[in-house]
Amino acid sequence: MATPQTLQDVHVPASVITATLGLNDTNLAVGFYFDANIHEHGFLKTAGVYVPLDAPYGVGTVPFDINNSGGIVGATYGPAGHSHGFIGTVNSFQPRFQPLDVPSSGPTDPEAAGLNDQGLVVGKFVDGAAHDHGFVCVPRGPVWLQIDFPGATDTAASKINNRDEIVGMYKDGSGHVHGFLRSNVGSFTRIDVPGAPTRPLWGSATPESS
């Protein structure tokens, strides 16, 4: 018999759109919302209280994930839609942000999408030929590892667990999108829901700010 599920509405007061993207084991949730002027902001929710998460650079902030130590990752977006990754903390509900950009002048538009309790961060960036690549990094190094599904034209890593297993999506040569699981020894498994269309669909993980 299935366990009954309890759903909780999450809606930042006075927002027109609210999206929850990350949740840790202590029920701290992060996400983003659009205000009445369609400006994008991040938020932290705890015990019914919403704490703004706006990085001090960019015009829109999107936290994608939070770990059990209060670490957060996400991206900020500029007026032209270009992104920069960030890592931060929300300890004592005082957010602190640090930029997280791929250490090269070539890749652009990094997004930090997930992190585990050991502090490993995953996400994606765009190369000079406008193709997406996944990454996993240790920010304290920093040590970076590019992740590409074999034969894919584009790859994006979205989450990582405490066994260092990574999930994400990739686009094949026909433009169709599939999910993937990458093991902690580097092997890939394609994931497709039976009967689901794998139509061409790709882009940023969040709507662009106006």
Note whether 91 and 133 are same-domain residues.
no
Query: Residue-wise pLDDT tens for the chain (210 aa)?
Result: 566 667 778 889 989 999 999 999 999 999 999 999 998 999 999 888 999 999 888 789 999 999 999 999 999 988 777 888 999 988 766 788 888 888 765 668 899 999 999 999 999 999 989 899 999 998 777 788 999 999 999 999 999 999 999 999 999 999 999 999 999 999 999 999 888 876 544 444 443 333
Do residue 126 and residue 85 come from a single domain?
no
My answer on whether 130 and 155 are in the same domain is yes
Counting the structural domains of the chain, the total is: 2
Cα 72 to Cα 34, 174, 193: the distances in Å are 20, 35, 29
Among 46, 38, 40, 50, residue whose Cα is nearest residue 13: 50
Tokens at 96, concatenated: 């602190």
Q: Does residue 39 sit in the same domain as residue 90?
A: yes
Full residue range of the structural domain in which residue 158 is found: 117-193
Is residue 107, in this structure, part of any structural domain at all? no
> 79 and 8 in one domain?
yes
Mark whether 129 and 175 lie in a shared domain: yes
